[in-house]
Amino acid sequence: MSDFTVRPITDAERRPLYDVLQRALHRSPVTDQRWARITGSVRADGKIGAFAEDLPIGLASSLPTAMTVPGGASVPMAAVNGVAVRADWTRRGVLTAMMDAQLREFTERGYTVAGLDASETAIYGRFGYGVAIRAATIDVKHPAQVGEGARVSGTVRILDGDDALVAARTVYDRIGYRRTGMIARPDDWWEISYSRSIEVDGYRLAVHTGPDGDDGFALYRTVPQRTHAEPFLGALVEVEDLIANDAATVAALWQFLLSIDLVSTVHASGRPVDEEVGVLLTDPRRARTTDVKDQLWLRLVDVPAALAARTYSDADPVVIEVHDRMLPANNGRYRTGPGGAERTGATADLELDVDTLAMLYLGEWRPALLALAGRITGADEKTLARTETLFRTEQNPWCGTDF
């Protein structure tokens, strides 16, 4: 018998469990002032707690949202956003018990998928999450400037505090989550995460205005780099969020970020892997992609619904056999082709675990590579090529929301 219990939390348990999360992420416990600001958005609903008798020892939170899938439909998604176990209770199965309870809750609530941003890569595969989106870190070193011929226009203004929060929400809602992998940003996420970036971490918002009004923004802060040894070293510009309605607005926001004086480097993480900043510059080598890593770990909670929600390119269907240890209702074979996806009794063309299906689902990974890694079995080269055609997407998926 385990010496802890896992269950939905009450209102009174929110703050102590929020502090379990803060501590696990090496942040200070929340202040009374900050709690007063966010308390309405830190809801008990969607939170699973772990308790040793009355002691709160673990938390797994989620927010309801929706994600755009290939073809443009959006599916109900649980954004898993606050997972922590007290340091004196780790490696005793607390997270495993919370993940199990959470997945059962997601099924009951009718979520098609769940997603998370993993603190470490070794944790979530065992629960059926796979890396469905990768993102790039881009560093631009000064002197760097956007070339004169670049098609950038419009104006940029800087906002702070609540004005920044309101403007970012308004522009995001206006642009929408159009690209595959983007999500609707939940109200509570704006109130907790975005307000922390602005109020606690000192970020400001550069809002771009084009011919039809505000159409993009960059959330950024400047961090001094000067030392006694290097008294003239310029500041670092850290870009946390950059959203725009089209590529020209993305370019205009980069132009603004590169125009800030007394800066040595502009650093942006979580960018789309196809965001080519270098080509905009007079010297392309000033921009470097310094990292490409997992951005979104996706869990297909309802495999039949997920497979049916996206579109497929033109190729003969494949029969995919899916294995799901934690949600056995997903086990089975699915005929997947341009006409859609449905359960079948036919012989499988390929087999995979549900985390690998998540890696395929948004078009991030080539099936041949997944077969090479031993993640797809039973498929010959022709089947893998067919699967690639079916699942291929025109543009790389990108989430862009750090939840």
Ligand X SMILES: CC(=O)SCCNC(=O)CCNC(=O)[C@H](O)C(C)(C)COP(=O)(O)OP(=O)(O)OC[C@H]1O[C@@H](n2cnc3c(N)ncnc32)[C@H](O)[C@@H]1OP(=O)(O)O
C-beta atoms surrounding 166 within 10 Å? 13
CA pair distance 83, 325, nearest whole angstrom: 21
Q: Residues of 40-49 as b/e, b for ≥16 C-beta within 10 angstroms?
A: ebbeeebbbb
119 is in an annotated binding site: yes
In the bound complex, what is the minimum distance in angstroms from residue 168's beta carbon to ligand X? 22
Which of 251, 247, 222, 245 lies closest to 235, judged by CA?
Answer: 222
85 is in an annotated binding site: yes
Binding region for ligand X (CB under 6 A) out of 86-94, 199-207, 336-344, 383-391: 86-94
Residue 39 interacts with ligand X (CB under 6 A): yes or no: no
In the bound complex, what is the minimum distance in angstroms from residue 82's beta carbon to ligand X? 6
The first and second tokens of residue 99, run together, are: 């993940």
The residue behind tokens 């090479």 is: 372
Among 32, 91, 228, 314, binds ligand X (CB under 6 A): 91
**E strand segments, 126-203:** 130-141, 155-159
* Cis peptide bond prior to 143, omega within 30° of 0: yes
Of 111, 172, 203, 403, the active-site residue reads 403
CA pair distance 63, 42, nearest whole angstrom: 10
In the bound complex, what is the minimum distance in angstroms from residue 86's beta carbon to ligand X? 8
DSSP-assigned beta bridge partners for residue 206: 158, 218
Comparing CB distances to ligand X, the nearer of 25 and 372 is 25
In the bound complex, what is the minimum distance in angstroms from residue 9's beta carbon to ligand X? 16
Residue 56's Cβ-side half-sphere holds a number of Cα atoms within 13 Å equal to 21
Comparing CB distances to ligand X, the nearer of 124 and 217 is 124
Comparing CB distances to ligand X, the nearer of 100 and 240 is 100
- 361 given a catalytic annotation: no
Comparing CB distances to ligand X, the nearer of 82 and 216 is 82
Residue 296 interacts with ligand X (CB under 6 A): yes or no: no
Of 124, 172, 220, 312, the active-site residue reads 124
| Burial of 376 (C-beta count, 10 Å sphere; 0-12/13-18/19+) | buried
Residue 96 interacts with ligand X (CB under 6 A): yes or no: yes
Please enumerate in sequence order all residues whose Cβ is within 8 A of that of 1, keeping only pairs 6 or more positions apart, or say none: none
In the bound complex, what is the minimum distance in angstroms from residue 402's beta carbon to ligand X? 11
Which of 401, 140, 395 lies closest to 277, judged by CA?
Answer: 140
Residue 93 interacts with ligand X (CB under 6 A): yes or no: yes
Among 83, 183, 257, 258, binds ligand X (CB under 6 A): 83
157 is in an annotated binding site: no
Among 9, 17, 24, 281, binds ligand X (CB under 6 A): 24
Number of residues that bind ligand X (CB under 6 A): 21
Residue 95 interacts with ligand X (CB under 6 A): yes or no: yes
**Could you say which residues in the range 118-147 bind ligand X, by CB under 6 A?**
118-120, 122-123
Cα-based angle 87, 89, 92 (whole degrees, multiple of 5): 130
Among 56, 70, 76, 82, binds ligand X (CB under 6 A): 82
The residue behind tokens 């000067």 is: 226
Max CA separation in the chain (angstroms): 71
**E strand segments, 69-203:** 74-85, 113-116, 130-141, 155-159
126 is in an annotated binding site: no
Residue 12 interacts with ligand X (CB under 6 A): yes or no: no
- 220 given a catalytic annotation: no
**Could you say which residues in the range 226-265 bind ligand X, by CB under 6 A?**
none
174 is in an annotated binding site: no
In degrees rounded to 5, what are phi and psi of residue 14? -60, -50
C-beta atoms surrounding 187 within 10 Å? 12
Residue 115 interacts with ligand X (CB under 6 A): yes or no: no
In the bound complex, what is the minimum distance in angstroms from residue 307's beta carbon to ligand X? 24
Annotated catalytic residues are 124, 403
Per the annotation, binding residues are: 83-85, 91-96, 119-120
Per the annotation, binding residues for acetyl-CoA are: 83-85, 91-96, 119-120
Binding site for ligand X (CB under 6 A): 24-25, 80, 82-85, 90-96, 116-120, 122-123
